[in-house]
Structure 1
């Protein structure tokens, strides 16, 4: 039976990890003191891997919280350079053969591999984040209304700019990232219809490094700042770190994505330039699927979609310059209410 579930908020936890290496990328394995039929949770990272301070790290936070709360083991596996779908299939099969359940592919690039491996292991629950095309009885297709949080980012940018000139940098020119751009542009223009918006995609395909190249992000941000933008929203995974670096160097605002990037330790030297972040609760999706399998014994399946009303997407409030700005906060509140009650319908393209 296919179900739609709210994605709950999940926090991060820490634990010691022992590192191993497989034929398809590196992995970390942690064990539990309590036995279980399942070895625990299997997590396969997207391009950029753990340490991106964004999408993959959000997934890791949910992975660790579920491990700690449910006292189970787990294995999280890194991608390798220039890998193929066959490499992803091998990675997921290794997790399945090793006894992990659930097994989660972090990112739309895992959709073909999840579809293939889930069919071979019908008693294991699989999850795919950012894709709803697999549609199998033992698969949860976990997706989000990214355009809604991006709309809020656009409102924030339009309120924060001093030049009526902002920018959007997408990692890869694909429909998923078009949603981020569409929401951002609509949100910014809701504040100022005449605002100037720079838009750029770093690459045409993920394999070209659009989500994993901080140097590409920095170069793009430099160009947009030179053109006059003083607030830049980056939906580019690890590449977004280069945008943060450029924003800090030029003393303009950056807006982060997926995780609350103002609070990320690796980005601390740029935090004063991170106005806010458009949040997507990837960690909550990982946690909820793990809970449904390990604790509830009622695995989620079908499309599991998170939106602003459920708290699965939103806008970060960590930077005091953002939180204490009455004008920005009033505009954000108005936008949130409109999206939740349906008077604002955010475009996806």
Structure 2
């Protein structure tokens, strides 16, 4: 429990979300060091992944979780942007500084924080750390991971039902195992729904994140345009900020785009393209961030591997676009697939 608070504390259980014991501002100049967290006893802090706040996707979802925690608990929060070309040492310094100031929990948004968190968490045993999209061992670390392949399977079902050309596309930001999960689930959903009649065109923007695969809308736009020229009339993107370019290209060509992580139909920066966003494969990063903050507030911090899947509504598919319901058999096919994944009759591949 926190030493001070502006609100009465309410212990809230998280039994509906099973925790497995094993298993995705400015940088402070504080150099960090061994020891306990700060004495001010502050609230939640998040450190963003590549692309930062304003990506209308992954990082913005994390920020929504931070806002919810701040509103509910009335405490101080902070969110910190990544810097260009930063190293693991820079990330270590950032996480250590937040712990020293008294923030708890401290969450690294993205697998890139893995090495830094492993190094820092051991030095601050009284602080709870969280990492999104990676598994990091540590007694005071919660690894918040998602069944992205399940949401992507549903996106594949939707794409197979929506296509008129029997060709659809996938644009991944960086060719890494995390994004490979999106591609694998999507391809399986398309194949299972179409009986193999629909072709999936796949392209990754870069081989490493440092090359801008998650932060270059121009790269995303060019990749989508190439797929559209090859008759793709539905393009699914798992590319962070680069995905905005994919959506723009789809809207310009008057074909469908499928968003990712957040419900991109409702993103203000994408409002002029929203009629072309058929659906979004949802990943409740905000919910995961909030769950960890809630557990710390209740005095029972989560640790170990926490998997958010369809069974706990940790992933899913949006239905915000009214045109979603107008496509024949789409909603029924998605609901049937969802039920099959939950009851285990559909096994979705992650690679």
- Given the two structures, how large is their TM-score scaled by the length of structure 2? 0.89
What are structure 1's unaligned runs of at least 5 residues? 9-19, 25-35
Counterparts of 1:7 and 1:232 in 2: how far apart (Å)?
32
Match among 58, 61, 70 for residue 58 of structure 1: 61
Equivalent residues, number: 322
- Quote the RMSD (CA, aligned, Å): 1.5
What's 1:40 paired with?
43
1:122 to 85, 101, 125: 125
- Paired residue for 2:203? 200
CA apart distance, 1:38: 1.9
Measure the CA separation in 1 of the matches of 2:15 and 2:259.
26
Aligned to 1:315, which of 294, 305, 317? Answer: 317
* Post-superposition CA distance 1:210-257 (Å, at most 9, x none): 011100000000100011101000000000000011001100000000
Return the offset for 1:135: 1.5
Kindly state the Cα deviation for residue 324 of structure 1 after the two structures are TM-superposed: 4.1
Q: Aligned equivalents of 2:308 and 2:28: distance in 1?
A: 34
1:150 aligns with 2:152: yes
**Contact map agreement 2:260 2:280 (CA 8 A) in 1:** yes
* Correspondence list, 1:1-349, <5 A: 21-23=26-28, 38-132=41-135, 134-192=136-194, 193-294=196-297, 296-349=298-351
Shift of 1:314: 0.2
Cα deviation for residue 325 of structure 1 reads: 3.3
- CA distance in 2 between partners of 1:236 and 1:254 (Å): 13
Distance 1:23 1:248 in 2: 40
Shift of 1:94: 1.1
Q: 2-side partners of 1:280 and 1:323: how far apart?
A: 21
Q: Is the 8 A contact 1:7 1:285 kept in 2?
A: no
* Structure 2 SS opposite 1:304: strand
- Extract unaligned runs of 5+ from structure 2: 1-13, 19-24, 30-38
Structure-2 separation of matches of 1:5 and 1:59: 22
Q: How far apart are the structure 1 equivalents of 2:173 and 2:93?
A: 26
Distance 1:6 1:130 in 2: 21
Counterparts in 2 of 1:311 and 1:60: CA distance versus 1, 3 Å: same
When residues 184 and 114 of structure 1 are mapped into structure 2, their CA distance, relative to the original with a 3 A threshold, is: same
The structure where strand makes up a greater share of residues is: 1
Cα distance in 2 for residues equivalent to 1:101 and 1:273: 40
